[in-house]
Amino acid sequence: MKNIIFLLLILTITTVNGQNNPIKLIPQPVEINQFKGIYQLKSTTSIGFNKPEGHRVADMLAQSLNTPTGFNLKAQQGKSGVIQLNLNEKANLQLGKEGYILESNSKGVVISANEPAGLYYGTQTLLQLLPKEIESKEIIKANWTIPAAKIVDYPRFAWRGLMLDVSRHFFTKEEVKQYIAQMAKFKFNTFHWHLTDDNGWRIEIKSLPRLTQVGAWRVPREGQFGNRATPKPGEPATDGGFYTQEDIKEIIQFAQDRNITIVPEIDVPGHSMSAVAAYPELSCTKDTSVKVNPGSPFSDWYGNGTFKLYTDNTLNPSNEKVYEFLDKVFTEMAALFPNPYIHVGGDECYKGYWSENADCKALMKKLNIRHIEDLQGYFMNRLEGILKAKGKKLIGWDEILEGGISPEATVMSWRGIQGGIDAANMGHDVVMTPTTFAYLDYCQGDPTVDPPIYANLRISKCYSYEPVPEGVDAKHILGGQGNLWTENIPTLRHVDYMTYPRSWALSEVFWSQKEKKDWNSFVSRLENQFKRADLADINYSRSIYDADVKTFLKGEKMTLDISTEISDLTIYYTYDGTMPDSHSLKYTQPVVIPEGPITIRVITYRNGAPIGHLITLKPEELKRRASKI
């Protein structure tokens, strides 16, 4: 008995000391070697940095440690810190600009890198090595241990991005900073800021004041976006907002401190209703009654990618005043944003009003072009010239390929992967952001549980993504990006819910080496991250625990096909009107559904306890889901 007690005591001590707890990081590093032992963080722990360029990173680390621990750690220049941040005297070519080496033992931690970006990512890994309580926003008691390890890490792709749409719903300066701070923790380095669209112009342009006086505001509306009532004559536009140029500068600095580049987007020539509402002379129709759209319908979509608009939301490519307007916009933006790229949209541009416009027809004749799509190529080439004159590079959605664009333009492939394949084969640099793997506004769980949208994207599909298409020269694939369009996302809490945990999966797709990806390993690390997000008060979806319920028709028989993304879940279901629990029918293989008005209810369990949402599918929903085989 004494021997058993002694053994249990040893096991308990070992577990507390972190020797039996495997390191769980997102994204997965290139190399982890874990050793016996720990370092115990104390109030007397010193933080050092060997070169002035590391000062800001060291200060930010001290702040991150002090908030939950209550310590008063300070960073000082020198080489003797217990936590030491070192910029290499001679570059380690393996690490590149963003890589780092982290070594921890019972005496302390050393992070070395070629550049401050690498030091920053090393500190983010260090914070993940600490107990989950490090995420607390208030002082909390915990055993502040760091496991002994050597981690060598560097990114696979140079472009690791997330896009936030602030036009469809406006998010404040502080909310944008919160979003940037969270994405930086997972080694994203690009924030694509969708600043303008039909539903709001969000950036102050001092030479064009009506863009924010008029274009930033719309009539207040609730309900499903796309089905809202149109503005009434004289109805005040009170919903919206914009960022002053001082706000922009503050956010840029906040992002730079976290090694994040901001790529601003002004979406033209389509998706420009907020600009047209402010300056109607820029459109073909010059309709002065156009208002900033509050989410009311103004188009018909035909299901094959084609559509028709009933309100002119496009800039007129034959009007020289349009290019004067854009020159003013991009002059001020180029002065604000230090990064090389400005995103110009180019997607979903309706050309019906162009085809009816006499000036557009005359321009086509002058240019000797027959296809209306070529006018967009003309527009984009003019726009690229404006940006080049200001020292900026053009990047746009994959539609910019359709009318012809210079080889120097960078393409963001969103309509699947084919646009990226075509662009890369033409010699363009490409950012891969296909709807099929990277659209974070898509429903991530069952649409009867989550707010429904027209498409689904589960986290396992995100994680399965390979950004370099087969047969494409990898040198043209800059990386990838997750996109969050906010038509139906009105609050930052819901932004977080849609972003996490799928963006954590994408962070590993874009950072980690291809051969390091392992779904089961990721699930374990993901569940660890859930606990940390709870302490950080970050909202996230738990749809990974939910059943994925499909039906199919084989002849006249409807069959139920249920799966889970996590292997250790048990599925229970009923079709007799009762609520399922662990005594209900256990799902093991596809089941023929009895004839009649059957309602299926499904729930998942783990270790004898319910863990997933209850999914209820009534007869009409079962039929809607059915596909023939």
* Positions marked active-site: 197, 271, 348
Distance between CA atoms of 433 and 164, rounded to whole angstroms?
13
Q: What is the DSSP letter of 253?
A: H
**Residue 195 near residue 266, CB atoms below 8 Å:** yes
**Residue 445 near residue 546, CB atoms below 8 Å:** yes
Rounded alpha-carbon distances, angstroms, from residue 513 to 126, 129, 154: 20, 20, 9
Residue 384's Cβ-side half-sphere holds a number of Cα atoms within 13 Å equal to 20
**Residue 150 near residue 103, CB atoms below 8 Å:** yes
Q: Match 């010059």 to its residue by tokens.
A: 286
Distance between CA atoms of 551 and 628, rounded to whole angstroms?
9
Best CA proximity match to 285, nearest among 354, 211, 186: 354
Continuous segment of H or E residues that includes residue 549: strand 548-554
Rounded alpha-carbon distances, angstroms, from residue 364 to 172, 322, 348, 367, 405: 43, 17, 20, 5, 17
The token pair at 604 is: 């998942």
Question: 7: helix, coil or strand?
Answer: helix
Q: What is the DSSP letter of 89?
A: S
Rounded alpha-carbon distances, angstroms, from residue 96 to 91, 114, 288, 389, 509: 8, 7, 54, 31, 19
Which amino acid would we find at residue 404? Answer: G
Write b or e for each residue in 351-375: b if 16 or more Cβ atoms lie within 10 A of its Cβ, otherwise e.
bebbeebeebeebbeeeebeebebb
Torsion on CA atoms 73, 74, 80, 85, rounded to nearest 10:
100
CA–centroid distance for 565 within its chain: 21
**Residue 139 near residue 68, CB atoms below 8 Å:** yes
Q: Match 């699947």 to its residue by tokens.
A: 416
DSSP 270-320: SS-HHHHHH-GGGSSS--TT-----S---EEE-SSS-EEESS--S--TT-H
What is the phi-psi region of residue 321: left when phi exceeds 0, alpha when psi lies from -120 to 50, beta otherwise? alpha
Distance between CA atoms of 164 and 166, rounded to whole angstroms?
6
The verdict on whether omega for the bond into residue 116 sits within 30 degrees of 0, i.e. cis, is no
**Residue 144 near residue 130, CB atoms below 8 Å:** yes
The residue ranges of DSSP E strands in 341-448, in sequence order, are 341-345, 393-397, 410-413, 430-432
